[in-house]
Amino acid sequence: MSTRDDRLLQLCAAPMQALGTVLAVDAEGGGCLVDVGANDIGAFDIGTSDPTAADAGTPDSRTGGAATADAARGALRARRAASCLLDPAPGDRVWLVGDLAQGLYVTAILERAAAAADAAPPRMSLPPGTLIDAGAGAMTLRADALRFEAASQLSVQADSAAIVARKLSGVGREAVWSFGHIKVIGELIESFAERVVQFARWSQRTVEGIDQLRSAHVDYRATHTMQLQAENLVANAENLVKVDGEQIHMG
């Protein structure tokens, strides 16, 4: 092995840290291309004038992209570190650590340029099965608008839950509720349905004002006893009034 090759291997394995600017992001591979300028603090320098040392490099099977620098000081291939939750975006000022042999990592997003109006919002990525645990304390999420999205299922489990909102709306194809006790209090309750079916072992309703029912056909049936009681009872029919029974008592 020549002195130059030995020197190059040592430089590739040497740890480095540097400031850089993200040029492009590989959405599928999880890596990004970072430009390390000559004036950046701690910038790595291959230190050879041989153009083969600054070639596009060998493939990185972990990210599917180039792993070595394409210039003595220039674009480097890097992956987002597990501790860096914010996904890099083109134009980001980032901090790089690692080496060219094992790979470079973006450990922090130091600064992000002002995004255009149509640019994608900042994104935080966590590995599958992530658990955020606040222990015995409380955790608060605060924003002008907060949205939860789940591709298949959204579950909320707690000993007690409360929702306080000026306006609450929900849209779906099917809703199933199972409660031991339900209490609804409101000034106005409106319901619209193609068909309403209710089953109850026992039912009671109290109305202080008017209780009005309008229908094309009304059918009340009681297995044993039906009672109508009022101070004044009025029954009107345009065509026919029929009362049938084994015994009819009036007066």
The average pLDDT across 202-209 equals 92
Q: By residue range, what is the domain housing residue 64?
A: 3-111
Residue 77 in any domain: the answer is yes
Question: By three-state DSSP, how is residue 103 classified?
Answer: strand
Question: By three-state DSSP, how is residue 98 classified?
Answer: strand
* Pairwise CA distance, residues 143 & 115, whole Å: 19
pLDDT at 195: 94
Torsion of Cα atoms, 89 then 91 then 97 then 98, to 10°: 70
* Pairwise CA distance, residues 138 & 161, whole Å: 14
Residue 22 in any domain: the answer is yes
What CATH number does the domain containing 79 carry? Answer: 2.40.50.320
pLDDT at 198: 92
Residue 141 in any domain: the answer is no
Higher-pLDDT residue of 92, 33: 92
pTM: 0.58
What rounded mean pLDDT belongs to the chain? 78
The average pLDDT across 127-152 equals 89
Residue 160 in any domain: the answer is no
Residue 90 in any domain: the answer is yes
Number of domains making up the chain: 1
pLDDT at 18: 82
